[in-house]
Structure 1
Amino acid sequence: MAGQTFPFTSSSQRALRLQREWLEWEDRRAAAQRCRSLRWPSSLQARLTRPRRCCRDPAVYNALFSGDLQQVQALFQDEEAANMIVETVSNQLAWSAEQGFWVLAPKTKQTAPLTITAARGYTDCARHLILQGAELDARVGGWAALHEACAQAQPDCVRLLLTFGAKANVLSDEGATPLHLCTAPESLQCAQLLLEAGAAVNLAAEGEVTALHVAAARGLEAHVALYLQHGARVGLRTSQGETALNAACAGAEGPGSSWQHQAVARRLLEAGADPRAAGRKRHSPLHNACASGCGALAELLLRHGACARAPNGAGLTPLDCALQAVRDAPNWEPEGLFAALLDYGAQPVSPEKLKHCANFPRALEVLLNAYPCVPSCDAWVEAVLPELWQEHEAFYSSALRMVNQPRRLQHLARMAVRAQLGSRCRQAAAQLPLPSLLRDYLLLRVEGCIQ
C-alpha cells in the first residue's frame, strides 16, 4: 500500500496547500505571541493601539491594484506594512449649492492592502499579505477583505480568507455581512463557501434586511434556493414590513425582464411565502408586480391566493397600479394582466381612469367589457392619439356608439356568469365543459369591437 499513489484533483491539491499554509501561519503566529508575552509584556497594549501608517505612494498603488506579486513581496515584508492604510483620492461629481451646478470634488477613500487584492482576485498577493500578518477582519474604509471579495465575486479569495480564519459573519460599518454582498449571479460559489463556514443566513443588516431579501430583489434564483436549503425564513420582514416575496416583486423592472423574479417568487411561494403579506404601506407583492407591469408574475401570485381587490395605503388596487404602469411602458401589451386581475375578482376601474390606457385599444376593450354598459367619459376619447384612432377606427367608433346603450344579451349573460363565479372565474372556466370559443369569450377575449 505504501508504494501506491492516489490521484488528486487540482481543487484537492489547492485545499491541501491552503491547509498546510494555514497551519504554518498558525504556528508562526502562536510563537510570535509567546515571544512578545515573554519579552515585551508592558508594551503590548501600546502596540495594539498604535495608529496605522497611511500610504499614498504610487508604487504601492501600482503593485496592489495590478497584482504584481514580486512588487508586493518587496514592499510588504512585515506586519506593519501589511496593515498600512492605503489612501486614494479621486475626483467625483458633487453638487455645489453655492455655485448652483455640479463640480468635480476630491474624495478620499481609505482601504487596506488585503482588501484591495481580495477584491481583484489576486490570491497569491493576498496570501503573502496574510502570511506577513495582515489583519483578516480589519474594516478600513468600512468593509473587511471578505466583504470586498464577495461583492466582486472572487471565490478563490473568499476560500483563502476563510481558510486562514476570517469571520464569515464579519459586519461592515453599515451592519452588512459578506453574505449580504453576494449580489451577482457569479457570487453563488462565494455564498456557498460562506454558508459552509458558518455564515448565519437569517442575520439581518441595517433595516432588518436579510441575505434572502437581497437575493430576491435581484432575481437571483440560485442564491434564493441555496439560502432556503440552509434554513432561510421566508416570513422575515424588513423594518418597512417587506418580506422576501415583496422584494422579489418590487425588484422586477418591467414586462420584458421579470422572468428571473418570477422564478424567485415561485421558489418562495413553494417554500410557504404568503402572497398577501403587505408592508407597512399595505403594498402587497401583487401591487408591486402590477406596478412593474409584470403580467406573468402577477398571474403566479393570483394563482397562489393573492387578493386582486385589496387596496394599499393610498387606496390603490393592483388594477390601479397596472393602469399607472401603462404610461411607463409604451410597448407593453397590458390586456393579459388586466384580464387576469378581472378574472380573479378585481372590480372595474372608475371611468375617468380609462384615459391611462386609451392608446392601448386591446387593453381598453378588456376594461370596457368589465362594465354592463359602456360608461360615458370624454377623458379617454380625448386622450387617443389621432394616428392611433385612424389605425383602430373600427374599435374606437364601436366603443363610442355603445356609450350608455344596452349591450347584447350575450354580453349580459357573460357578466352574470362572471359575477356568479367571482374570484374563481378563471379556475372555474378551465373546469367547465365549454367550447373553447365560449370559454375565451367568458374570459374577456379581445375581439376588436364593442357590441
Structure 2
Amino acid sequence: MPGGRSSPPHGRHNRGCLPTSPTCQIWRSQSYPAQRTQPLLCRDMALQNALYTGDLARLQDLFPPQSTADLLLESRAAEPRWSSHQRGLWSLTYEEELTTPLHVAASRGHTEVLRLLLRRRASPDSAPGGRTALHEACTAGHAACVHVLLVAGADPNIPDQDGKRPLHLCRGLGILECVELLLKFGAQVDGRTEDEEETPLHIAARLGHVELADLLLRWGAHPDVRNADGWTPLLVACDTHSQSPQDAEATTNRCFQLCSLLISVGADADAANQDKQRPLHLACRHGHSAVVELLLSCGVSTNAMDYGGHTPLHCALQGPATALAHSPEHMVQALLNHGAVRVWPGALPKVLDRWCMSPRTIEVLMNTYCVVQLPEEAKGLVPPEILQKHHRFYTSLFGLVRQPRSLQHLCRCALRCHLEGCLPHALPRLPLPRRLLRFLQLDFEDVLY
C-alpha cells in the first residue's frame, strides 16, 4: 500500500476537513505541542473507494472548492507482521499504516485526481509514513504524476524513511521519463542514499539499465563515485549475475554494454573496493567473458589479489555453472594470454572435477605446462557420460599423464616463458604465420599432444 508505518507526519499541513465526511476526526501526535493542528484522519470508505478507483467525478463532489484534501487515511500493510500486545504473547496481525489521498493517486497513476487534490490544498511534500507522493509516483513509474507533483513544488531531493531520494526509486516503464523530469526540476544527479551512500548511477548499474546510465552520465553523473563500501558503478555493473540459465545471455550482454559505456566516459577499469576486489575479479567470478576481454584490453592488473588471496583466474575457475553457457574457455584463455599466473599443479584435480563438462577449459590450462601433472586416479573425477561425450580429448589427456609432451608444444612453452610479462604485446608482433601464432596463443584443438 502507499504510505508507510504509522508515525508522526512531517511537512506542510493545513487545518480543515471534508464537510461531506462525518467520519473524519482530528488526529494528533503526542510528540507535537497540543496547540499545533495536524491533518485530519479520515475513515470515510466512500472517499477511499473513489481514490483507489480514480473516480474523478465522485471526488469532485467530495471535495468542493472550499474543502481541503490535506487528510490522513488509514490502511493495512500489504503483509501481516508479528506483533506483541502482551508480554510473551505474539500474534500475526496487519499493521495499520497512514497515507494521504495524494499518495494513493500518485501510486496508482490517477493524474487528474492528483491535480484536483493539489487544487484542494493537499501538501505535495506530506510524508506521514516516511514517503512523499513523489516517491510513490517514481516507484510506480508514473511520469505524468511526477510532472504534476514537481510543478506543484514537490521537493525532488527529499529522502524517504530509508534515506532514498526520488531519483533512486524510479522504476517501471516510465523510468527514463521520470528521471529526466526530476533532473530538470533540480534533482541532484549524484545525490546519495543516507546509509549506503549510493548515487543513482550505482542503482542503474545494479539494474543493468544501460539507457538510464547513459542518461545520468549525460547529465553529469560522476563515473567513479564510490559508495560506503568503496564500490564504483563499474564494480557494481561487473557484479551483476543472472538468476537462471535462461536469462544468462541477456544479463551478460547488458553487463558488457554498461561496462563499455562507463569505460568510454573515463571510469577507472582497475578500481578496487574495500575488499580489494576489482572489476576483473567480479567479471571472472560471474562468467562475463566479453567483459573480461574488454577489461584486459584496458591494461588492468591480471594478477591482482583480493583480500582473500584470489586472482582473476582463481575467480574464473570458481565461477558458477551458468558460465558454461558463455564459453569459459575463452575467458581463461584471455587471462593466460595476458600473463595470468598458472594454476598451482596440485589444484588441477579440483579444476578437472569442476570443469570436466568444458574440456576446452581443461585443454587451455594443460597447455601452459610442459607435463600433464595429474594423479593416476584423476580419471575417476570425470563422469562416464562426459568421458564418452568427449572421448577423443579425455583419451589424449589421460594418455599423457606423467608422459612427455610433443616437441612443438615444448617449444611453445619455452617461448611463452621467455616472453613472460609482455605476452599480450609481444605475441601479436612476432613475424609468424597466422596458424602458428594462434598455436602460441593457446588456440583450441580439442586434443592434447
TM range, smaller chain: 0.7 to 0.9
Distance 1:127 1:349, change over 3 A: same
Q: 1:82 aligned to 2:69?
A: yes
1:134 maps to which residue? 122
Structure 2 counterparts to residues 251-266 of structure 1, below 5 A:
251-253=240-242, 254-266=248-260
Which residue is 1:201 aligned to? 189
After superposition, the C-alpha distances for 1:79-135 in whole angstroms (9 at most, x for unaligned) are: 975222223225636689xxxxxx965244332221221122211010111111111
Q: CA offset at residue 294 of structure 1?
A: 0.8
C-alpha contact (below 8 Å) 1:185/1:220 kept by paired residues:
no
Deviation at 1:161, TM superposition (A): 1.1
- Mapping of 1:345-356 within 5 angstroms? 345-350=339-344, 351-354=348-351, 355-356=353-354
Q: CA deviation at 1:428?
A: 4.1
Q: Where do 1:46-445 residues align within 5 Å?
A: 49-77=36-64, 82-90=69-77, 92=79, 105-184=93-172, 186-205=174-193, 206-253=195-242, 254-329=248-323, 331-350=325-344, 351-354=348-351, 355-377=353-375, 381-422=379-420, 424-445=422-443
Which 10-residue stretch deviates more, 280-289 or 87-96? 87-96
* SS state at 2:112 partner: helix
Q: 2:176 corresponds to which letter in structure 1? A: L
| Whole-Å separation in 2 of the counterparts to 1:339 and 1:233 | 33
For residues 52-84 of structure 1, what are the alpha-carbon distances to aligned partners after superposition, in whole Å with 9 as ceiling and x for unaligned?
Answer: 333454433322222111122233447975222
Higher relative helix content: 1
Q: 1:69 to 1:303 in 2, by over 3 A?
A: same
The question of whether the paired residues in 2 share the 8 Å contact of 1:344 and 1:422 is answered with: no
| Structure 1: distance between partners of 2:156 and 2:104 | 18
Point out the more displaced range, 254-263 or 110-119.
Answer: 254-263
**Corresponding residue number in structure 2 for 1:4:** none
Change (3 A) 1:172 1:80: farther
Q: What CA distance in whole angstroms lies between the structure 2 residues aligned with 1:433 and 1:116?
A: 71
- Residues 303 and 397 from structure 1, CA distance in 2 versus in 1: closer, same or farther, beyond 3 angstroms? same
1:353 is matched by which residue type in structure 2? Answer: K
Bigger shift: 300-309 or 183-192? 183-192
Q: Tell me how far apart the structure 1 counterparts of residues 175 and 116 of structure 2 sit (CA, whole Å).
A: 24
Q: CA deviation at 1:225?
A: 1.7
Q: 1:374 to 1:117 in 2, by over 3 A?
A: same
The alignment partner of 1:82 has SS state of: coil
Q: Percent identity?
A: 37
**Amino acid in structure 1 at the alignment position of 2:71:** M
Describe the shift of the 1:107–1:385 C-alpha distance in structure 2 as closer, same or farther (beyond 3 A).
Answer: farther
Could you tell me how far apart the structure 1 residues matched to 2:417 and 2:250 are? 32
Any conservation in 2 of the 1:90–1:106 contact (CA below 8 Å)? yes
For the residue of structure 2 that corresponds to 1:305, the secondary structure is: coil
Task: Quote how far apart the aligned CAs of 1:417 are.
Answer: 2.9
Contact 1:361 1:392 in 2 (8 A): yes
Q: 8 Å contact 1:343–1:423 — kept in the other structure?
A: no
Comparing 247-256 with 286-295, which one deviates more in the overlay? Answer: 247-256
Check 1:195–1:91 CA distance in 2 against 1; reply closer, same or farther (3 A cut): closer
Partner Cα distance (1:190, 1:378) in 2: 63
Pairwise CA distance, 1:142? 2.0
Separation (CA, whole Å) in 2 of partners of 1:385 and 1:362: 16
Cα-Cα RMSD: 2.7
Give the drift of 1:212: 0.9
- Kindly tell me: are residues 184 and 411 of structure 1, through their superposed partners in 2, closer, same or farther at Cα, counting changes over 3 Å? farther
Structure 1 regions of 5+ residues with no counterpart? 1-28, 30-44, 97-102
Change (3 A) 1:67 1:73: same
Distance in 2 of aligned mates of 1:303 and 1:49: 65
Structure 1, 406-415 or 82-91: larger mean CA deviation: 82-91
Structure 2: runs of 5 or more not aligned: 1-13, 15-31, 84-90, 243-247
Question: 8 Å contact 2:156–2:166 — kept in the other structure?
Answer: yes
Counterpart Cα distance in 2 of 1:422 and 1:158: 58
In structure 1, give the amino acid aligned to 2:360. Answer: R
Using a 3 Å threshold, how does the CA distance of structure 1 residues 284 and 377 change in structure 2: closer, same or farther? Answer: farther
Contact 2:80 2:95 in 1 (8 A): no
Cα drift, residue 372 of structure 1: 2.3
Q: Match of 1:312, SS? A: coil
State the TM-score, normalized to the length of structure 2: 0.82
1:14 corresponds in structure 2 to none
CA contact (8 A) 2:81 2:95 kept: no
Paired with 1:230 and 1:82, the residues of 2 have a C-alpha distance of 36
In 1, the alpha carbon distance for the partners of 2:127 and 2:414 equals 66
Q: Deviations over 1:204-260 (max 9, x none)?
A: 112110111111121222221222222211221111110111011112434552212
What amino acid is the match of 2:300? A
**Which segment drifts farther, 249-258 or 76-85?**
76-85
Residue 22 of structure 2 is matched in structure 1 by: none
Q: Which has the higher contact order (CA 8 A, sep 6+)?
A: 2
Q: Contact (CA 8 Å) 1:269, 1:275: kept in 2 or not?
A: yes
CA contact (8 A) 1:91 1:105 kept: no
CA distance in 2, matches of 1:134, 1:309: 59
